[in-house]
Amino acid sequence: MTNTTYSTTSQTAGLVSYFNALRDEVAARINRSRVYRKTFNELNAMSDRELADIGLSRLQIADIAADTAAQI
């Protein structure tokens, strides 16, 4: 009986660990998505002149937002 209890506890601990890792991954993806949207929206709201002043073109906005989100 002790062996069964230990095995069940071990399996439960494995499931808890799995779901904790899953929760952390989902939270990280949500955070990266927020950073992407915020960066994209802020750059997209700028005029072409403002973008040119900082050395960017409108075509680069999605790539820059993705790079910024990937750093999180």
For 5-35, what is each residue's pLDDT tens digit?
555 677 888 999 999 999 999 999 999 999 9
Residue ranges of E strands in the chain: none
> What's the rounded mean pLDDT across residues 48-60?
98
- 13 located within any domain: no
Return phi, psi of residue 57, to 5°. -115, 165
Ramachandran category for residue 55: left, alpha or beta (phi over 0 → left; psi -120 to 50 → alpha): left
- 44 located within any domain: yes
- 53 located within any domain: yes
- 11 located within any domain: no
pTM score, whole prediction: 0.79
Structural domain count of the chain: 1
Place of tokens 């955070």: 31
